[in-house]
Structure 1
Amino acid sequence: MLLAAALPRTRRVAVARVALRRRETLAALRVRDRTIVLQPLLWPDRIRRPDIPFLHEDVEPHHGELHHAVRLVQGLAPEESPYTDDHRAALEAVVRAKPAGGDVERPPNANRPKASPGC
């Protein structure tokens, strides 16, 4: 409850790297209807309205606790983002190399799909 109250006051969201369906992606931790929601950044349409029975209870955090939580969130925020989209960077490198006549090489650890028996 404390983090859910501190994030909106700092006007920030938390960013996390998560693995979903065998692929790594970035996600945002946002506060929505007083609930912390993990939102994958590539699929924002998958957020549902939370159906939690105690969601609308009036619980106010103590002023001192909230003050410390806000300071903690502000202190943890980096000056610039440490997250990079490695997949996009590799794809952009291929796109830039192809028209320039450069060689486009398959990474050594990339597995080729197996041909089906009927082909």
Structure 2
Amino acid sequence: MSDSGRPQVEVILPGGRVIAGEVISRTRGADGWSYDVALSVPAAAVRPLPGQDYSGVPTRTPADGPGTATAWVLQPLRHDRPDQRAVVLHERGCWVAPEDSGLIPAEAKYARVFLREGWAVPCEACHPALPET
């Protein structure tokens, strides 16, 4: 169960990526179950609709968000070629980063070196933003 008390599920996205979700409700139909699921995705993956009022949406501040020592993680991959690097830099909580122990916490100064030296590429989903030094 999550902090909200809702059961958690894995959601398989097109392309095979898996992200975590929380079950809000489910319906049993003639073809089987369908689920209403709450997902947490970065702002870059969300497009607000014109005319909608978002002022009543609760706003949370994570304890270790951007600007802290562990706001970024490095994801080692199984390949390393000049045209496709072996490490991807994500913001912590990125919806496409795997949720396993293979992620390596990174301070901004180290994450910046990995990008500058070409040892890592920025995630194309969360577009990690590193603070200026």
Do they superpose with TM above 0.5?
Answer: no
TM-score normalized by structure 1?
Answer: 0.23
TM-score normalized by structure 2?
Answer: 0.21
The structure in which a higher percent of residues are helix is 1
Query: Which has the higher Rg, Structure 1 or Structure 2?
Result: 1
